[in-house]
A and B are shown apart, each in its own frame.
Chain A
Amino acid sequence: LSSTRIYNPLGRTASPSATPARPPVGDLSRRSVAILENTKPNALALMRHVAGHLQSRFDGVTVAEYRKESAAQAAEEAIVDRIKAEASLVLVGSGD
C-alpha cells in the first residue's frame, strides 16, 4: 500500500509540570481528612463511608466536609486554599 503525509490532528499538550507531588501521608493518626463534596449525594455517601473507615483504622482522625458550588464547575479557589491549610488528605468525588 502507498503512504502519504498528513497533518497530525491531535492537540499538542504542555509538558507535565515540574512541581513534585507532595510525599504520600503514611500514617493518618491525628490527621485531618477533608471531604470535598461535589453536591452529588451518592458521591457524598461513598466518601463519608471511606472517611469512617479511615477513622476506625487510625487514631484521632478528624473529618471535615467542604462543599463546592456545583458538580459541573471547578472548586472555588478559596475552598481549595482552606483544604490545603486545614487537611492532610482530601477525598474527592467524581461522577454521581
Chain B
Amino acid sequence: MLTDAESDWIQVTADPAAFLESMTAEGWGDGLPVVLPTQERMERMLATVSVDPETPLGAMPPGQGQVTPARVAANAVLAGCDSESFPVLLTAVLAMLSPQFNLNGVQTTTHPVAPLLIVSGGVVQRLGVNDGAGAFGPGTRFNSTVGRAIRLVLLHVGYAKPGERDRATQGQPSKYAFCIGENTRESPWPGYAQAYAGLEDGADAVTVFGGENPHNVNDHVSGTAAGVLESIAGVIANPASNSVHYTQGEIFVVMSPEHAATVADSGFSRSDVQSYLFERARLPLSRLRQGGMWGMQAWPPWMVAMDDDNVRLPPVRSPAGFRILVSGGPGKHSSVLPGFGASKCVTRRIGDYSTEGEAP
C-alpha cells in the first residue's frame, strides 16, 4: 500500500515544461523531460510486482538513499516506462545492490562506467525489448525508458550527481540509457543466463555489467572464426583500458548474429571463443610499459614476475573473464565493452526481489 505520508508526496505544477524547469533548478533529473509520477501512474506501475511498495530493499550508494519499490516506481514513471517493464527494472536495481557489483565504485569513479542492462529470455519478445538492429541505439520504448530509469534511480536514490558524487571525468552517452536484449533467436550458443549463471534455458533474467560504451568491431571480410576473433582481439588489446593494466576485470563481447554464425560455423563453442581471445587479445610487455596505467598494475604474481619485453600478457585473469553474448541485427559489426574492472557483473532471475547477496 502506498504511503500517504506527507513527506513522500509533493505538490508540483502540472505543466510539463514548467515542471522540467523547476526540477532542473532543484538539481533533479537527467536534463530531459519527464512524466509526472501521479498516484494513478504509481499504482499502475506497482500493481505489476508482489512486493509492498514501502518495503526497504537496501541503501543505494554513494548517497545511501533507501531503495523501495515505490521510489523505483516513481523513477520508472519519470523515465516514461511502461508498467509491464517494472519487474525487470526492479530486479535490475536489486542486482546492482549486490556487493560484488561494487555500486559505490561504479557511481563515484572518474572512469566513465555505466551499468549496462542485458535482458534475456522469453521476456525479450513479450515486452518488445530490442535485441536486433540498433539494439544499443534509440527507437524502442523498453530499451530507452528502462535504461533511462536505471540512471534516474542512480541519480535520485543513490544521489550520484555528475560533478558532485559522480566524479566521472567525462562520463559517456550510455549514462543516459544503456539497455539491450540478448538475441537468443539468432545465437548459435546457449543463452547467456544459462551459460554464466546456471539458469534454465530461456529463463527470464537480467544481467547488469559496469562497462564502457560499445567499442565497434568492423569485419566485413573474415569468413572463419579465426578471422572474426582476430578483429575482436584487436579491439580488446587496448593499452589504455582499465582491465589491461589495472583490474583485469570482465570484458563483454557482444557479437552480431552474422559474426557469431561465422565463428560457430568453424566449430567454435562459446568456450572456444573465450580461449581464443585469452590467447590472442594480448599486448607485449614493452607496449604496456609505455603508458596507460603502468605502475599501478594489480596483476597476479605470475604476471608481475614477467620481465621479457616480448612476452604478451592478457587483459583478464582467465578465459572466463570474457563474457560472450549475441545481440544486434543484420550486418558485420560486433562490439567490445571493457569493464570498469573493480566490479563484477550480476545475473538475476526476473522477479527475484531478495536483498541478500546474489540470487541463484
Contacts and interface: CB of A to CB of B under 8 A. Distances in A.
B296 interface: yes
A67 B219 CA distance: 44
Interface in B98-150: 102, 104-105, 109-110
Interface string B1-18: 010000111111111001
A70 B343 CA distance: 11
A11 B342 contact: no
Interface in A20-56: 39-41
Given A2-B14, A13-B64, A72-B102, A7 B39 contact: yes
A30 to B, nearest CB: 34
B7 A8 contact: yes
Chain A residues touching B, range: 20 to 34
A11 B37 contact: no
A5 B11 contact: yes
B9 A5 contact: yes
Contacts of A70: 247, 298, 342
Contacts of A96: 110
A1 B39 contact: no
A9 B110 contact: no
A72 B63 contact: no
Contact of B10 (A8, A12, A39): A8
A6 B38 contact: yes
Nearest to B72: A9
A18 interface: no
B158 interface: yes
A72 B293 CA distance: 14
Contacts of A4: 11-14, 36, 38
B64 A14 contact: yes
Interface string A45-86: 000000000000000000000000111111000000000000
B13 to A, nearest CB: 5
Nearest to B60: A11
B109 A72 contact: yes
A9 B151 CA distance: 12
Interface in B1-49: 2, 7-15, 18, 28, 36-39, 42
A74 B104 CA distance: 9
B60 to A, nearest CB: 6
Nearest to B26: A10
Contacts of A71: 109, 342
Contacts of A1: 13-15, 18
A36 B41 CA distance: 48
Closest 3 CB pairs of A and B: A11-B65, A72-B342, A11-B157
Given A7-B73, A9-B28, 10 more contacts: A1-B13, A5-B39, A6-B74, A7-B42, A7-B74, A11-B63, A11-B65, A11-B157, A41-B296, A70-B298
Interface of B: 2, 7-15, 18, 28, 36-39, 42, 59-60, 63-67, 70-71, 73-75, 77-78, 102, 104-105, 109-110, 152, 156-159, 167, 247, 295-296, 298, 340-343
Interface of A: 1-14, 39-41, 69-74, 94-96
